[in-house]
Structure 1
Amino acid sequence: MTAPVGVRPLNPSHLAVGRMLLEGETPAGTARRLPMFIGTVRRRLTEIGRRLGAATAVDRAVALLAGGHLPPPSGGMLTPGLRSVDIAVLKVLTKLVPEDTLAEDLRAGDAFLTYLEKLCVRCGARTDAHLVTLAAAWNLLPDLVPHPVPGEEQ
Protein backbone atom coordinates (compact mmCIF):
# COMPACT_ATOMS: atom_id res chain seq x y z
CA MET A 1 0.00 0.00 0.00
CA THR A 2 1.39 3.36 -0.95
CA ALA A 3 0.08 6.83 -0.35
CA PRO A 4 -1.42 8.61 -3.34
CA VAL A 5 0.98 10.98 -5.12
CA GLY A 6 1.02 14.53 -3.76
CA VAL A 7 -0.59 13.67 -0.42
CA ARG A 8 0.68 15.40 2.69
CA PRO A 9 2.40 13.33 5.40
CA LEU A 10 0.71 12.50 8.68
CA ASN A 11 0.98 15.10 11.42
CA PRO A 12 1.27 14.46 15.20
CA SER A 13 -2.52 14.56 15.61
CA HIS A 14 -2.96 11.87 12.94
CA LEU A 15 -0.26 9.76 14.55
CA ALA A 16 -1.88 10.06 18.01
CA VAL A 17 -5.22 8.91 16.60
CA GLY A 18 -3.45 6.20 14.59
CA ARG A 19 -1.75 4.91 17.74
CA MET A 20 -5.18 4.59 19.40
CA LEU A 21 -6.46 2.69 16.35
CA LEU A 22 -3.54 0.27 16.65
CA GLU A 23 -4.36 -0.18 20.35
CA GLY A 24 -7.93 -1.15 19.48
CA GLU A 25 -9.52 1.98 20.85
CA THR A 26 -12.92 3.13 19.59
CA PRO A 27 -13.35 6.67 18.27
CA ALA A 28 -15.22 7.58 21.48
CA GLY A 29 -12.47 6.07 23.63
CA THR A 30 -9.83 7.86 21.56
CA ALA A 31 -11.66 11.15 22.05
CA ARG A 32 -11.67 10.63 25.82
CA ARG A 33 -8.03 9.54 26.01
CA LEU A 34 -6.42 12.22 23.86
CA PRO A 35 -8.71 14.43 24.70
CA MET A 36 -10.36 15.47 21.47
CA PHE A 37 -13.86 15.89 20.11
CA ILE A 38 -15.18 12.64 18.64
CA GLY A 39 -15.82 14.44 15.34
CA THR A 40 -12.14 15.41 15.23
CA VAL A 41 -11.13 11.78 15.85
CA ARG A 42 -13.38 10.59 13.03
CA ARG A 43 -12.03 13.30 10.73
CA ARG A 44 -8.43 12.27 11.55
CA LEU A 45 -9.25 8.61 10.80
CA THR A 46 -10.76 9.63 7.46
CA GLU A 47 -7.71 11.78 6.67
CA ILE A 48 -5.36 8.91 7.56
CA GLY A 49 -7.33 6.70 5.20
CA ARG A 50 -7.17 9.22 2.37
CA ARG A 51 -3.49 9.98 2.85
CA LEU A 52 -2.48 6.33 3.01
CA GLY A 53 -4.99 4.96 0.50
CA ALA A 54 -6.67 2.86 3.20
CA ALA A 55 -10.47 2.55 3.26
CA THR A 56 -11.06 0.41 6.38
CA ALA A 57 -9.71 0.37 9.92
CA VAL A 58 -7.70 -2.77 9.14
CA ASP A 59 -6.32 -1.16 5.97
CA ARG A 60 -5.34 1.90 8.01
CA ALA A 61 -3.59 -0.25 10.61
CA VAL A 62 -1.74 -2.11 7.86
CA ALA A 63 -0.73 1.15 6.16
CA LEU A 64 0.43 2.73 9.43
CA LEU A 65 2.56 -0.30 10.26
CA ALA A 66 3.87 -1.20 6.80
CA GLY A 67 4.62 2.42 5.95
CA GLY A 68 6.71 2.81 9.11
CA HIS A 69 4.46 5.60 10.40
CA LEU A 70 3.97 3.83 13.73
CA PRO A 71 5.63 0.75 15.21
CA PRO A 72 3.67 -2.11 16.73
CA PRO A 73 3.67 -2.09 20.53
CA SER A 74 6.50 -3.97 22.16
CA GLY A 75 6.98 -6.04 25.27
CA GLY A 76 4.66 -7.66 27.74
CA MET A 77 2.51 -9.58 25.29
CA LEU A 78 2.71 -13.33 24.95
CA THR A 79 2.06 -14.89 21.57
CA PRO A 80 -0.89 -17.25 21.79
CA GLY A 81 -0.46 -20.66 20.22
CA LEU A 82 -1.67 -19.93 16.73
CA ARG A 83 -2.10 -22.56 14.04
CA SER A 84 -1.35 -22.24 10.35
CA VAL A 85 -5.04 -21.59 9.63
CA ASP A 86 -4.93 -18.64 12.06
CA ILE A 87 -1.94 -17.17 10.23
CA ALA A 88 -3.73 -17.72 6.91
CA VAL A 89 -6.76 -15.81 8.21
CA LEU A 90 -4.50 -12.96 9.35
CA LYS A 91 -2.83 -12.82 5.95
CA VAL A 92 -6.19 -12.65 4.17
CA LEU A 93 -7.45 -10.00 6.61
CA THR A 94 -4.42 -7.82 5.86
CA LYS A 95 -4.64 -8.54 2.11
CA LEU A 96 -1.16 -10.04 2.06
CA VAL A 97 -2.69 -13.03 0.26
CA PRO A 98 -5.96 -13.39 -1.68
CA GLU A 99 -9.08 -14.83 -0.07
CA ASP A 100 -9.05 -17.85 -2.38
CA THR A 101 -5.97 -19.15 -0.53
CA LEU A 102 -8.21 -19.98 2.45
CA ALA A 103 -9.78 -23.38 2.93
CA GLU A 104 -13.19 -23.63 1.25
CA ASP A 105 -15.05 -23.92 4.58
CA LEU A 106 -13.71 -20.50 5.68
CA ARG A 107 -14.93 -18.84 2.48
CA ALA A 108 -18.54 -19.99 2.84
CA GLY A 109 -21.13 -17.59 4.25
CA ASP A 110 -20.05 -15.84 7.44
CA ALA A 111 -17.43 -18.46 8.32
CA PHE A 112 -14.50 -16.06 7.87
CA LEU A 113 -16.05 -13.36 10.05
CA THR A 114 -17.03 -15.89 12.72
CA TYR A 115 -13.52 -17.33 12.72
CA LEU A 116 -12.07 -13.83 12.92
CA GLU A 117 -14.23 -12.97 15.95
CA LYS A 118 -13.03 -16.09 17.75
CA LEU A 119 -9.42 -15.32 16.80
CA CYS A 120 -9.76 -11.83 18.29
CA VAL A 121 -11.02 -13.33 21.55
CA ARG A 122 -8.20 -15.92 21.66
CA CYS A 123 -5.59 -13.22 21.03
CA GLY A 124 -7.09 -10.63 23.38
CA ALA A 125 -7.67 -8.18 20.54
CA ARG A 126 -10.25 -5.45 20.96
CA THR A 127 -10.81 -4.96 17.21
CA ASP A 128 -9.67 -6.44 13.91
CA ALA A 129 -7.18 -3.56 13.54
CA HIS A 130 -5.83 -4.35 17.01
CA LEU A 131 -5.51 -8.02 16.03
CA VAL A 132 -3.37 -6.99 13.04
CA THR A 133 -1.21 -4.86 15.33
CA LEU A 134 -0.74 -7.69 17.80
CA ALA A 135 0.16 -10.10 15.00
CA ALA A 136 2.75 -7.61 13.74
CA ALA A 137 4.16 -7.20 17.27
CA TRP A 138 4.44 -11.00 17.56
CA ASN A 139 6.28 -11.02 14.21
CA LEU A 140 3.60 -13.24 12.69
CA LEU A 141 3.19 -10.82 9.78
CA PRO A 142 6.77 -9.69 9.09
CA ASP A 143 5.70 -7.95 5.85
CA LEU A 144 3.88 -5.36 7.96
CA VAL A 145 6.91 -4.14 9.86
CA PRO A 146 9.64 -2.38 7.89
CA HIS A 147 13.10 -3.62 8.75
CA PRO A 148 15.99 -1.13 8.86
CA VAL A 149 18.48 -1.32 6.03
CA PRO A 150 21.97 -2.16 7.35
CA GLY A 151 24.06 0.97 7.56
CA GLU A 152 21.07 3.35 7.61
CA GLU A 153 20.26 5.35 10.68
CA GLN A 154 16.99 4.47 12.44
Structure 2
Amino acid sequence: MKIQTKYLGELEIDDAKRIQFPAGLPGFGEDKEFVLLDFPENPVFQLLQSVMTQSVAFVVTTPYNFYQGYTFDLDDSILESLQIENERDVAVFSIVTLSNPFEQSTLNLKAPVILNWKNRQGKQYILNTDEYESKAPIAPSAVTNGKGE
Protein backbone atom coordinates (compact mmCIF):
# COMPACT_ATOMS: atom_id res chain seq x y z
CA MET A 1 0.00 0.00 0.00
CA LYS A 2 1.21 3.53 -0.76
CA ILE A 3 0.87 6.33 1.76
CA GLN A 4 1.78 10.00 1.77
CA THR A 5 4.06 10.89 4.68
CA LYS A 6 4.68 14.24 6.31
CA TYR A 7 8.48 14.16 6.01
CA LEU A 8 9.44 11.33 3.65
CA GLY A 9 7.09 11.80 0.69
CA GLU A 10 5.17 8.90 -0.80
CA LEU A 11 6.22 5.48 0.45
CA GLU A 12 5.20 1.92 -0.18
CA ILE A 13 4.47 0.19 3.13
CA ASP A 14 3.83 -3.42 3.97
CA ASP A 15 0.33 -3.88 5.43
CA ALA A 16 1.84 -6.20 8.04
CA LYS A 17 3.78 -3.24 9.48
CA ARG A 18 0.65 -1.28 10.42
CA ILE A 19 0.22 -0.56 14.11
CA GLN A 20 -3.31 -0.24 15.47
CA PHE A 21 -4.08 2.43 18.06
CA PRO A 22 -7.68 1.51 18.96
CA ALA A 23 -8.15 4.72 21.00
CA GLY A 24 -6.05 6.85 18.64
CA LEU A 25 -3.50 9.18 20.21
CA PRO A 26 -4.57 12.03 22.53
CA GLY A 27 -5.75 14.87 20.31
CA PHE A 28 -5.70 12.65 17.21
CA GLY A 29 -8.46 10.15 18.00
CA GLU A 30 -9.56 9.76 14.39
CA ASP A 31 -6.19 8.33 13.33
CA LYS A 32 -6.07 4.73 14.50
CA GLU A 33 -3.53 3.18 12.13
CA PHE A 34 0.11 4.18 12.08
CA VAL A 35 3.37 2.87 10.72
CA LEU A 36 6.83 3.29 12.22
CA LEU A 37 9.31 4.53 9.60
CA ASP A 38 13.07 4.96 9.78
CA PHE A 39 14.77 8.24 8.94
CA PRO A 40 17.51 7.23 6.48
CA GLU A 41 19.94 9.88 7.71
CA ASN A 42 19.48 9.32 11.48
CA PRO A 43 18.65 5.85 12.85
CA VAL A 44 18.20 7.19 16.41
CA PHE A 45 14.88 8.77 15.39
CA GLN A 46 11.84 7.29 13.69
CA LEU A 47 8.58 8.61 12.35
CA LEU A 48 5.25 7.42 13.73
CA GLN A 49 3.16 8.24 10.67
CA SER A 50 -0.62 8.03 10.37
CA VAL A 51 -1.64 5.77 7.51
CA MET A 52 -4.72 7.90 6.76
CA THR A 53 -3.62 11.51 7.41
CA GLN A 54 -0.39 12.77 5.86
CA SER A 55 -0.04 15.68 8.29
CA VAL A 56 -0.31 13.48 11.40
CA ALA A 57 3.21 12.26 12.11
CA PHE A 58 5.40 12.26 15.21
CA VAL A 59 9.16 12.08 15.47
CA VAL A 60 9.88 9.42 18.09
CA THR A 61 12.89 7.79 19.68
CA THR A 62 13.53 5.22 22.32
CA PRO A 63 13.98 7.28 25.49
CA TYR A 64 16.78 4.96 26.62
CA ASN A 65 19.08 6.58 24.04
CA PHE A 66 19.06 9.67 26.27
CA TYR A 67 17.78 8.52 29.69
CA GLN A 68 19.24 5.12 30.58
CA GLY A 69 17.57 5.21 34.03
CA TYR A 70 14.06 5.74 32.63
CA THR A 71 11.76 3.17 34.24
CA PHE A 72 8.08 2.80 35.00
CA ASP A 73 5.53 0.05 35.51
CA LEU A 74 2.61 -0.60 33.19
CA ASP A 75 -0.68 -0.93 35.04
CA ASP A 76 -3.07 -3.82 34.47
CA SER A 77 -5.35 -1.77 32.21
CA ILE A 78 -2.65 -1.18 29.59
CA LEU A 79 -1.34 -4.74 29.87
CA GLU A 80 -4.87 -5.93 29.18
CA SER A 81 -5.78 -3.41 26.47
CA LEU A 82 -2.58 -4.12 24.50
CA GLN A 83 -2.71 -7.84 25.36
CA ILE A 84 0.87 -7.76 26.63
CA GLU A 85 2.00 -11.19 27.76
CA ASN A 86 5.77 -10.87 27.59
CA GLU A 87 8.12 -7.97 28.27
CA ARG A 88 10.12 -8.86 25.14
CA ASP A 89 7.10 -7.95 22.97
CA VAL A 90 7.00 -4.36 24.26
CA ALA A 91 8.69 -1.29 22.78
CA VAL A 92 8.72 2.14 24.41
CA PHE A 93 9.02 5.39 22.47
CA SER A 94 8.99 9.05 23.42
CA ILE A 95 7.57 11.74 21.19
CA VAL A 96 10.20 14.34 20.29
CA THR A 97 9.47 18.05 20.03
CA LEU A 98 12.12 19.36 17.66
CA SER A 99 13.60 22.81 18.19
CA ASN A 100 16.24 24.93 16.52
CA PRO A 101 18.93 24.60 17.72
CA PHE A 102 18.49 20.85 18.11
CA GLU A 103 19.94 20.91 21.64
CA GLN A 104 16.75 22.65 22.79
CA SER A 105 14.57 19.76 21.55
CA THR A 106 12.63 17.81 24.18
CA LEU A 107 11.28 14.31 24.84
CA ASN A 108 7.89 13.53 26.33
CA LEU A 109 8.83 11.17 29.14
CA LYS A 110 5.50 11.74 30.92
CA ALA A 111 3.45 10.04 28.18
CA PRO A 112 5.42 7.29 26.41
CA VAL A 113 4.06 5.45 23.40
CA ILE A 114 3.82 1.74 24.21
CA LEU A 115 3.80 -0.79 21.37
CA ASN A 116 3.13 -4.51 21.52
CA TRP A 117 5.13 -5.85 18.57
CA LYS A 118 3.49 -9.25 18.76
CA ASN A 119 -0.03 -8.05 17.93
CA ARG A 120 0.88 -4.63 16.44
CA GLN A 121 -1.18 -2.70 19.02
CA GLY A 122 -0.18 0.65 20.51
CA LYS A 123 -1.25 3.25 23.02
CA GLN A 124 0.10 6.46 24.48
CA TYR A 125 0.35 5.85 28.21
CA ILE A 126 0.22 8.84 30.55
CA LEU A 127 2.30 8.08 33.64
CA ASN A 128 0.68 8.84 36.97
CA THR A 129 3.85 10.32 38.45
CA ASP A 130 5.65 13.64 38.61
CA GLU A 131 9.02 11.90 38.26
CA TYR A 132 9.21 12.55 34.51
CA GLU A 133 8.57 15.66 32.42
CA SER A 134 6.57 16.10 29.25
CA LYS A 135 9.38 18.35 27.99
CA ALA A 136 12.55 16.64 29.19
CA PRO A 137 15.78 17.98 27.64
CA ILE A 138 17.17 15.91 24.80
CA ALA A 139 20.67 17.40 24.96
CA PRO A 140 23.04 15.08 26.83
CA SER A 141 24.62 18.09 28.57
CA ALA A 142 21.22 18.86 30.10
CA VAL A 143 20.96 15.35 31.49
CA THR A 144 22.86 15.07 34.77
CA ASN A 145 21.66 11.64 35.85
CA GLY A 146 19.70 8.78 34.32
CA LYS A 147 16.42 10.57 34.93
CA GLY A 148 17.32 14.01 33.58
CA GLU A 149 17.40 15.68 36.97
- Pick the TM interval, shorter chain: under 0.3
Higher-RCO chain (CA-CA 8 Å, sequence separation at least 6): 1
TM-score, normalization: structure 1?
0.23
